[in-house]
Amino acid sequence: MAEKVALITGGVRGIGRTIALNLAERGWAVAICYRKSEAEAKAALAAIQEKGARGLAIQCDVSNPNSAAELVQQVEKEWERIDALINGAGPYHRVNLLDETIDGWHEMFDNNLHPVFYLSRAVASGMKARKWGRIINFSMANADQLIGQPFVTAHYIAKVSVLILTKTLARLLAPDGITVNAISPGFIDSGSAPPEELAKMLKNIPAGYLGATQDVAAIVNFLLSDEARYVNGANIHVSGGWGI
C-alpha cells in the first residue's frame, strides 16, 4: 500500500499515542499535535521515527479555528495530503454543574467539540479531491444514552454533540469516498484518569476489567482500512459493555 498520512490530535499520550505508533508500524506517515506537552511530543515523535515512519510533532491550539486551519495546511504542505484525521484530543474536568464557571463551561466545548468541526472542514477538500478519506472522532461510551451528568455536564454535552456532528459529516462526505465514524471508549487504562477512580469503576464494567489503549487502536486500524469502506456514521463502543 502506498504511504498514507494521518493527522492525530491528542497524539502524544494515552490512546492517541498508541494509535500513532500503530499507524507508524503499518507504514503511515504520522503527524501529531500538542499544546503544551513538548517533552512528551518529542518522545512520541522519536518513537514514531523508531518504527521507520515519517513523523511530525506540531504545537497547536486546535480550539482556535485559525490555528486548526494552519495545522492542516502545514501537514499538507509537508506531505501533500492528509488521508486520515483522528480527532483524539478531549480534556475534561470534574465539577458540580452549579459550581462550574463560565470559562470552564466554554472550555469543554472549545476543546471537545469545536476542533472536530474546524479540522474536519479543513481536511475535507483534499480528501474530496482524492476521493478517499477517513475521519474518526471520539465520544464517550454512554453519550448516546443522554443521561444526567452532574459533574461532567459540559464535557458530556460536547461528546453527545460529537455524535451528531459525526453522522452529519458522514452523510455529507460519503459521496466522495470519505467515511466519518465515532469511537466511544469506556474506562481505558490510558493514564488520563487517577488509578483509584478506575479501580472504583471495575464493578460497573460487565467485562470485569479495564480496557487497554490497544483495544481502541485496533478499532482505529479497522476503520482506516478498505475493509471498513462501507462503515459510515457509526458509533463504536469500546467499553467492555459499560454504558450501553
Please state which CATH class domain 5-238 belongs to: alpha beta
> 177: phi > 0 → left, psi -120 to 50 → alpha, else beta; which?
left
Question: What pairing do the DSSP bridges indicate for beta strands 84-87 and 178-185?
Answer: unpaired
The predicted structure's pLDDT at residue 1: 45
In order along its 244 residues, the chain shows pLDDT tens digits of: 468 999 999 999 999 999 999 999 999 999 999 998 899 999 999 999 999 999 999 999 999 999 999 999 999 999 999 999 999 998 889 999 999 999 999 999 999 999 999 999 999 999 999 999 999 999 999 999 999 999 999 999 999 999 999 999 999 999 999 999 999 999 999 887 777 878 888 999 999 999 999 999 999 999 999 999 999 999 999 999 999 9
Domain boundaries, the chain: 5-238
For the residues of 11-76, what is the DSSP string, one character each?
-SSHHHHHHHHHHHHTT-EEEEEESS-HHHHHHHHHHHHHTT--EEEEE--TTSHHHHHHHHHHHH
| Residue tagged 490510558 (cell numbers) | 190
